[in-house]
Structure 1
Amino acid sequence: MQPTPDFSAPKLAKSLLRRRREGALATLMEDGGAPYCSLVNLASHPDGSPLLLISRLAIHTRNVLADPRVSLMLDERAAGDPLEGARIMLLGTAVPASPEQLPLWRRRYLAAHPAAEGYIDFTDFSLFKIETSGLHLVAGFGRILDLAPDRYLTDLRAADALLEAEASAVAHINADHPATMNLYATQLLGAAEADWRCTGIDPEGLDLQCERSTLRLEFPERVETPVALRDMLKRMADIARKTE
């Protein structure tokens, strides 16, 4: 891949953080500090940080409890040579959910992984957020660079009202406006018609999912309140209808 004028490293990194549902987690062995890598499922916090649900029966969880430093690799799973696809290597610290954080993290994780409902409350399972210190992006020739967190995470300041309303907004959208979600997916994002549902909303966009397929609908402007969200969703629906 050659560099192009419209290439945006932050935009690509944000997309991978929002859309990927699994990744390779690297931890340090509790005994000796040797590197250890494992496959984990993940969701995204409203700011884009990865959320993990891991069991204390797993080696990687015991490693994290002994030393919270981690690295996480996410890739776009493009067809053909996997080395030609984009990927990010995220550096950070795995932090467990506090009682205050747990409801939000739990809801976001279950939206991405509904099957986890059957075991998320087991006593050996815990939710962790990777608080990142930076990432390394590889997206082809001439597209290799490092990004600081403020380049790929979503600023949640001034968006408290939106975050408080997110759960009810997602439930309302999925119950009353499934056709609109399908319209976004097919007309604005080029996806096939399917049972698309909303899994999360943040100031910069909306996440859609159908089984293991995921999409990211970016808003043209930042949204910080429920009223602004309603107006934005109507605006995006109007644009989508014009493309039919």
Structure 2
Amino acid sequence: MEPTQTTTEMSKTPDDNLLDKVDSLLANVQSLQLATLGEGQLPWVSYTPFVAESRGCFYIFISELAQHTRNLLKSPHVSWMLIADESASKQIYARERLIYQGIATAIAQEDAVYGRQLDALRERHGTLVSMLRQLPDFYLFRLDAHQIHYVQGFGKAFDLQGSDWSKWQQNTGK
């Protein structure tokens, strides 16, 4: 199945390499903004470093002392965003970004993925992860996307689809 477009206007079509741009943003952004549900289902926004296993699967290692961790332990519903650096953006209103909705799952220390993903976090973010790994209040969470929305710029918003998130469809906001 080839990528689909719902408009033929040149100003609203993606760059030919839309998925390359998505993957570049994933590779170059080191932290994500995290929206969790707190007391009374009120939103709580924070951030944390991450490692991405794929376009739709992320791992974060966060302390139970942080509100977002306590929120995720009570409610797995989560949204997160990766956004281009302000200094690298030509227009502050049209910053390139990936917006996700999904579910967070705490990973048990005994799970084989636990050590592998902490090693990946250490490789990406440095040796502090080795020290944090020794603390009893830290949890490894897997974030699995149910929806991915990519904004490339003004009038260039796309929903990623497919089992590997390699298909896209123009989002017209309707």
- Shared fold per TM-score greater than 0.5: yes
Deviation at 1:15, TM superposition (A): 2.4
**Where does structure 2 lack aligned partners over 5 or more consecutive residues?**
1-9, 167-174
1:74-104 Cα shifts (integer Å, max 9, x gaps): 1121244332221011111111224221121
**Structure 1 position 102 matched with structure 2 position 114:** yes
Residue in 1 aligned with 2:147? 134
Q: Distance in 2 between matches of 1:112 and 1:21?
A: 8
Which residue of 57, 64, 85 maps to 2:95?
85
Q: Which has the higher strand share?
A: 2
Percent identity between the two aligned chains: 29
Q: Distance in 2 between matches of 1:39 and 1:86?
A: 17
Q: Distance in 2 between matches of 1:81 and 1:20?
A: 18
- The TM-score with structure 2 as length reference comes to 0.77
Which deviates more, 72-81 or 10-19?
A: 10-19
- Rate the CA distance shift 1:134–1:51 in 2: closer, same or farther, 3 A: same
Which residue of 51, 69, 82 maps to 1:74?
82
1:1-244 matched pairs, under 5 angstroms: 2-3=11-12, 6-29=15-38, 31-45=39-53, 47-48=54-55, 49-77=57-85, 78-98=88-108, 99-114=111-126, 115-148=128-161, 150-152=163-165
**Where does structure 1 lack aligned partners over 5 or more consecutive residues?**
154-244
Deviation at 1:121, TM superposition (A): 2.3
- 8 Å Cα contact 2:118/2:129 also seen in 1: no
Q: 3-state DSSP class of the match of 1:57? A: coil
Q: Which has the higher helix share?
A: 1
Deviation at 1:4, TM superposition (A): 5.8
Instruction: Note the aligned Cα RMSD (angstroms).
Output: 2.2
- 8 Å Cα contact 1:70/1:92 also seen in 2: yes
The number of equivalent residue pairs is 151
- 8 Å Cα contact 2:37/2:75 also seen in 1: yes
- Rate the CA distance shift 1:76–1:150 in 2: closer, same or farther, 3 A: farther
Q: 3-state DSSP class of the match of 2:16? A: coil
- The TM-score with structure 1 as length reference comes to 0.56
Q: 3-state DSSP class of the match of 1:152? A: coil
Q: 3-state DSSP class of the match of 1:32? A: helix
- 8 Å Cα contact 2:52/2:59 also seen in 1: yes
Which protein has greater RCO, CA pairs closer than 8 Å, 6+ apart? 2
